[in-house]
Amino acid sequence: MRDVAIIGASMTEFGTRSEWIRELLVKAAQACLEDADVSPSQIEHCYVSNMSSGEFEGMTGIPNALAHDLNCMPAYTQRVDQTSASGGAGIYAAWQSIASGTSDLTLLVGGEKMTHRTTPETTDIIASITHPVEYKHGVTLPSFAGLTARCYLEKYDAPRESLADVAVKNHANGVYNPHAQFQKEVDKETVLSSPIIADPLRLYDFCPITDGSAALLFCPRELAAEYTDDFVSVAGIAGATDTHVVHQRDDPTTMGGVVESGEKAYAMSGYTPADIDVAELHDMFTILEFLQSEGLGFFEPGTAWSATQDGVTAIDGDLPINTSGGLKSKGHPLGASGVAQAYEIYQQLLGEADTQQVAADVGLACNVGGFGNCVTTTILEADQ
Amino acid sequence: MRDVAIIGASMTEFGTRSEWIRELLVKAAQACLEDADVSPSQIEHCYVSNMSSGEFEGMTGIPNALAHDLNCMPAYTQRVDQTSASGGAGIYAAWQSIASGTSDLTLLVGGEKMTHRTTPETTDIIASITHPVEYKHGVTLPSFAGLTARCYLEKYDAPRESLADVAVKNHANGVYNPHAQFQKEVDKETVLSSPIIADPLRLYDFCPITDGSAALLFCPRELAAEYTDDFVSVAGIAGATDTHVVHQRDDPTTMGGVVESGEKAYAMSGYTPADIDVAELHDMFTILEFLQSEGLGFFEPGTAWSATQDGVTAIDGDLPINTSGGLKSKGHPLGASGVAQAYEIYQQLLGEADTQQVAADVGLACNVGGFGNCVTTTILEADQ
């Protein structure tokens, strides 16, 4: 198995975009190739992380469209879909293509175009992720989040207001991210007075609907220096699943896929949770940041809320989480999110994170599909 | 890079099925696991080849649903989409997962449920593969096939009736395939008197709309004997793309993706076209069998039609093509087709093809997406 490096990364501005998915993919791809000073003709494999271009825009075959638009034919292309964890799954696919020796240069582009559809249409498309019986009984992803949040708060005797700390922190980080959908601070009072969506979760506990794309360029570690002096390495990566029927899980406050993929990724990398200097977690709902940071071993079960309250996960804390603003503030274009998480870690490890820079040699990204139905965890390290 | 073996294979009956996609995937998966005497808990990676469950059935996240229904959690899952070449792309993904050392046991299940939708609905979904400008001007995949067939016939002075030889041959093979959608012979007169769809192509030059699924189980070659004495090895595999805008190609009678993926797969395997004993080609339209068998080097350009006429590709010919009946007779459930092609080659190489058995140590499967926009070619060999 070959060691794998990431030699280029990019993302578009997230938000409401006028481009369709094809244009979004091309923009991120071109910026990524420019970052690495690589021409399209050098690409051997090209993966596209996208959940639902067919449902959102009536367009499939977008990997081929990208290969055509970039002019990287005859590079092999393929779409990677793992619902909202498509980006992390794309990293896993691209990594395997290099690790196996199949490709010496692999481009991954993640993207989604969503905002042109009405909210009910978008809700229907996203709800198709979940078990149809649960959905038809009204148990949507936001409902699960509300139910789980209540379980967490009661189980650990955590104050309801603690959820708001995640939103406040991630918005504070997003202010400084020029790619973020919301570049504005929110205070705790605003979060706690926003409309209830799924009790106890309020409007500001949820990520927005977003358009955008992001890209990464992979090559064998041993060839990375031929392209650039600024690269990071994939230290560990793993994916795992949990039940598709969420109500069959023993304990909703434990995300089995997060635990499993984290343990495997740590084992592969040789790192432990204590070695992680910065992390991007899948905060589609504020409660998920607590569950993931506990599932990944950053905090003991039931203590993520107090650690957050104490500022441990803030930009100047011991373990900064979602320095990019997270999905909460940066936005969540389904297929792009996992790729954009790795983009943030890449920037941090290369010391290119500007105002959001933290001291980091090892970073972790956790991308979640469904309500933890599938998870991919990636650990990146600065070049030693 | 580890050598990769296929230790189990299965397919459901193709045709009009009453099950939805989740049930179809489970049926093929369970039959495949039974074929290899493997339990679901042993699976490490599980890929699902499927183009459009979201568009056809409003259901996404089907890899998670399969992991749940099979009870193979926490196995990693992911959907592989490369339009009608999703099956071949799934083989490539599963192969990489083993070759890279990431997984020691990978299940691939391909499936599609299509027949419950009206023909115009299905046409719209399938047409989303192609470039939207071409489609909106009426240039659908059948139109491309008609235009290309005319170019071929004129360029090589081939008789219009020669196309019918493909349909007659593949229907003759399908008679003996219990999984085939059409288990009936057709004579040349029937083909040539069927309604014109896209001149010069007639109804019997086209594959049907189909429901069905198929599965393959992969492990490292060095571990195969621990599971079974009956396995085949992946000798070569490669994928390639051609222009997404079909009218930009220099010569419609040459499928660049077929040529490119074939050359790479041959190079990897050490085999040449002369070494191939049996092949499954993507005969979505009869003309495609000519173009692929020439692009893969089985015949000189412009001679596939006469070779077919002379019986070279018949079940008792020198190079039997589509002994399964091909897409033409067996049916074409988009995500399943590439997997079912490999199922046929697997059966042939193991001597389990019953009445359709030919003498074969090396077989090839060519799976085509769009109108040759993306192609995966796989070469399998009997255990030496």
d(CA A109, CA A18): 18
Question: Does the distance separating the beta carbons of A128 and B58 come in below 8 Å?
Answer: yes
Question: pLDDT (tens digit, 9 = 90+) per residue, A331-383?
Answer: 999 999 999 999 999 999 999 999 999 999 999 999 999 999 999 999 999 98
**CB distance A104 to A8 below 8 Å:** no
User: Does this model's pTM top 0.95?
Assistant: yes
The answer to whether position B298 is within a domain reads no
Question: Does the distance separating the beta carbons of A61 and B102 come in below 8 Å?
Answer: no
Range of the domain at B40: 4-117+209-227
- How many CB atoms lie under 10 A from the CB of residue B118? 8
Q: Which of A60, A83, A240 sits opposite B51 (nearest CB)?
A: A60
Domain count, chain B: 1
A99 contact B CB<8A: yes
d(CA A195, CA A191): 9
Nearest chain B Cα to A85, which residue? B78
Residue B384 has pLDDT above 80, yes or no: no
d(CA A242, CA B65): 10
Q: Which two tokens stand for residue A261?
A: 């993929």
Give pLDDT < 70 ranges for chain A: 384
d(CA A48, CA A62): 8
Least confident of A110-114, A117-121, B210-214, B220-224: A117-121
Q: Which of B68, B93, B130 sits opposite A243 (nearest CB)?
A: B68
Residue A366's SS3 state is strand
In chain B, which residues have their Cβ closer than 8 Å to the Cβ of A75? 240-241
Nearest to B340 by CA among B205, B225, B185, B210: B210
What does pLDDT average to over chain B?
96
A117 contact B CB<8A: no
Note the pLDDT of residue B94.
98
In chain B, which residues have their Cβ closer than 8 Å to the Cβ of A1? 100-102
The answer to whether position B79 is within a domain reads yes
d(CA B297, CA B265): 12
Note the pLDDT of residue B315.
98
Q: Are strands B76-81 and A76-81 parallel, antiparallel or unpaired?
A: antiparallel
The answer to whether position A23 is within a domain reads yes
Question: pLDDT (tens digit, 9 = 90+) per residue, B34-89?
Answer: 999 999 999 999 999 999 999 999 999 999 999 999 999 999 999 999 999 999 99
Helix (H) or strand (E) run with residue A127 in it: helix A119-127
Note the pLDDT of residue B247.
86
Question: Does the distance separating the beta carbons of A239 and B76 come in below 8 Å?
Answer: yes
The burial class, CB within 10 Å (0-12 / 13-18 / 19+), for B101 is middle
**pLDDT over 70 percentage in chain B:** 100
B311 contact A CB<8A: no
User: Token match 């090396």: residue?
Assistant: B362
Note the pLDDT of residue B192.
97
CATH number of the domain enclosing A16: 3.40.47.10
The burial class, CB within 10 Å (0-12 / 13-18 / 19+), for B284 is buried
A76 contact B CB<8A: yes
Nearest chain B Cα to A258, which residue? B74
Give the ipTM of the model, two decimals please: 0.97
Nearest to A292 by CA among A197, A368, A212: A368
Q: What are phi and psi of A360, to 5 degrees?
A: -150, 125
Radius of gyration for chain A, computed over Cα atoms and rounded to the nearest angstrom: 19
Q: Which of B58, B82, B238 sits opposite A63 (nearest CB)?
A: B82
Question: What distance in Å separates residue A268's CA from the closest CA in chain B?
Answer: 10
Q: What are phi and psi of A225, to 5 degrees?
A: -65, -20
Determine the average pLDDT of the residues in B115-136. Answer: 90
The answer to whether position B9 is within a domain reads yes
The burial class, CB within 10 Å (0-12 / 13-18 / 19+), for B146 is buried
Question: pLDDT (tens digit, 9 = 90+) per residue, B160-200?
Answer: 999 999 999 999 999 999 999 999 999 999 999 999 999 99
Residue B22 has pLDDT above 70, yes or no: yes
Q: Which residues contact B303 (CB under 8 A, 6 or more apart)?
A: B156, B294
Amino acid (1-letter code) at residue A219: C
Note the pLDDT of residue B252.
92
In chain A, which residues have their Cβ closer than 8 Å to the Cβ of B370? 61, 64
The answer to whether position A264 is within a domain reads no
The answer to whether position A232 is within a domain reads no
The answer to whether position A165 is within a domain reads no
The answer to whether position A86 is within a domain reads yes
Residue-by-residue DSSP string for B146-194: HHHHHHHHHHTT--TTHHHHHHHHHHHHHTT-TT-S------HHHHHHS
